[in-house]
Amino acid sequence: YPIEDLAEKSTFLEVAYLLMHGELPKREELHSFVDSIRRHTMLHEDFKKFFNALPKDAHPMAACAASVGALATFYPDSLEPDDPRQRAISLHRLIAKLPTLASYAYKHSIGQPFMYPDNRLSYVGNFLHMMFATPCEEYVVNPVIDRALDRIFVLHADHEQNCSTSAVRSVGSSQVDPYSAVSAGIGALYGPLHGGANEAVLKMLRRIGTVENIPAFMEGVKAGDERLMGFGHRVYKNFDPRATIIKKACDDVFEVTGVNPLLAIAVELEKIALQDEYFVKRKLYPNVDFYSGLIYEALGMPADMFTVLFAIGRTSGWVAQWREMLDDKDQKISRPRQVYIGADERNYVEIGSR
Ligand code: CMC
């Protein structure tokens, strides 16, 4: 299915179902899937202690990787990859609990009470509620924001053998539980060359500060001092279709939130880069991370939460790929071959004689 169609017509949970089952769900199938996800949103109560043990300034991606790994300690009834029921429960738990874990990481960092999920809300609405509601203030989810973030999760849901997905497959191939495998994926996604690029883009735009500073910044990029974050892709040597959709989604969001002033810098950077020989020759185009941070910031998300949002969307792809791998009869434990290029065989030399 074209990503444009899914972004326009589908929903994140429907796409998550599609990834796991290979077919779009019928109405009753979708209903029962969404219902199951809804019922798994709550966390074991002791998770509060887990988060409270982390430093307040812990990066939420590090907190998420740790807490997803910790799911394996809280839910020992769903660790067995070969048991179909345990497998199904663990996958639903991962998709359902990621937004709750993400919001706990955020609430802990700002010293606010953790919010329980409100299962009357949509998947995204619930996430926004857990992020921004407090026990003293009602938080009303704006449907435009709900729809925009849901669409962004669709765009991030899966993307073949990217760094984090291959990490999930590699770790999962040892037949460890899926919580441990997905935790490894979150670690891989955290890096600035992968999912961490969305946070890095925002920091870069803030640092550039004004459109007038762009030429000097670009000279530095071309001299190899730094990279233009949010540009380039290992696979796309042309426009990343997701970037085009996200750029359009900016308009919907900014209509509600007001325009992010950094947009002007991003648009100008893109315009210059698309005409500049350095970028044209290397086929560097904006990727999915170039505009997503501008939307997240307009939604009131702090920059260090951006990659966590990527992780929430990508969890659906990770678990689908993990399951596909286990179902593959030819799958063996991951074991990249090492080509040794060091010294020939040597005798051990005692420490005093080296
Ligand atoms: N800015 C400036 N130069 C760049 C950039 C960039 N963003 N990306 C690549 N180049 C140059 C690089 O210096 C090299 O030049 P030369 O041939 O002169 O040495 C050439 O382009 C090829 O670079 P590469 O690192 O071999 O390309 P790659 O396909 O291995 O890297 C990439 C892909 C995404 C890691 C890289 O383009 C990059 O670092 N981009 C910035 C980070 C970023 O936006 N990451 C998000 C990726 S998309 C979403 C995701 O997967 O998370």
Q: What length does the chain have?
A: 354
Q: Is the CB–ligand 1 distance for residue 246 below 6 Å?
A: no
126: left (phi over 0), alpha (psi -120 to 50) or beta: alpha
Other Cβ atoms closer than 10 A to 261: 11
Q: Which of 162, 226, 229, 231 best tests ligand 1's pocket when mutated (most atoms within 8 Å of CB)?
A: 231
Per the structure block, which two tokens stand in for 315?
A: 């969890």
Q: Is the CB–ligand 1 distance for residue 193 below 6 Å?
A: yes
Question: Which residue owns the Cα nearest ligand 1 atom 45?
Answer: 193
Q: Is the CB–ligand 1 distance for residue 288 below 6 Å?
A: yes
Which pLDDT score, from 0 to 100, does residue 202 have?
Answer: 93
Which pLDDT score, from 0 to 100, does residue 40 have?
Answer: 96
Which pLDDT score, from 0 to 100, does residue 249 have?
Answer: 86
Which pLDDT score, from 0 to 100, does residue 248 have?
Answer: 84
Separation of 269 CA from ligand 1 center, angstroms? 16
Buried b (16+ CB within 10 A) or exposed e, 43-67: beeebeebbeebeeebbbbbbbbbb
Question: Which residue owns the Cα nearest ligand 1 atom 28?
Answer: 234
Residues 6+ apart with CB under 8 A from 6: 15, 18, 154
CA-only gyration radius of the chain, Å = 22
**Weakly modelled stretches of the chain, pLDDT under 50:** none
Phi then psi dihedrals of residue 338, to 5 deg: -100, 130
Q: Which of 56, 69, 23, 78 is nearest to 181 (CA)?
A: 69
Round to whole Å and give the CA distance between 306 and 199.
6
Question: Which residue owns the Cα nearest ligand 1 atom 18?
Answer: 282
Count helices and strands (H / E) in the chain: 17, 0
Tell me the whole-structure pTM to 2 decimals. 0.93
Catalytic-residue membership of 289: yes
Question: Which residue owns the Cα nearest ligand 1 atom 46?
Answer: 194
Mean pLDDT of the chain: 95
Separation of 204 CA from ligand 1 center, angstroms? 15
Q: Which of 202, 233, 307 best tests ligand 1's pocket when mutated (most atoms within 8 Å of CB)?
A: 233
Q: List, for residues 22-70, the tens digit of each pLDDT value.
A: 999 999 999 999 999 999 999 999 999 999 999 999 999 999 999 999 9
3-class state of residue 164 by DSSP: helix
Separation of 314 CA from ligand 1 center, angstroms? 21
Q: Which of 61, 51, 64 is nearest to 303 (CA)?
A: 61
Catalytic-residue membership of 57: no
Q: List, for residues 169-189, the tens digit of each pLDDT value.
A: 999 999 999 999 999 999 999
Separation of 229 CA from ligand 1 center, angstroms? 8
Q: Is the CB–ligand 1 distance for residue 173 below 6 Å?
A: no
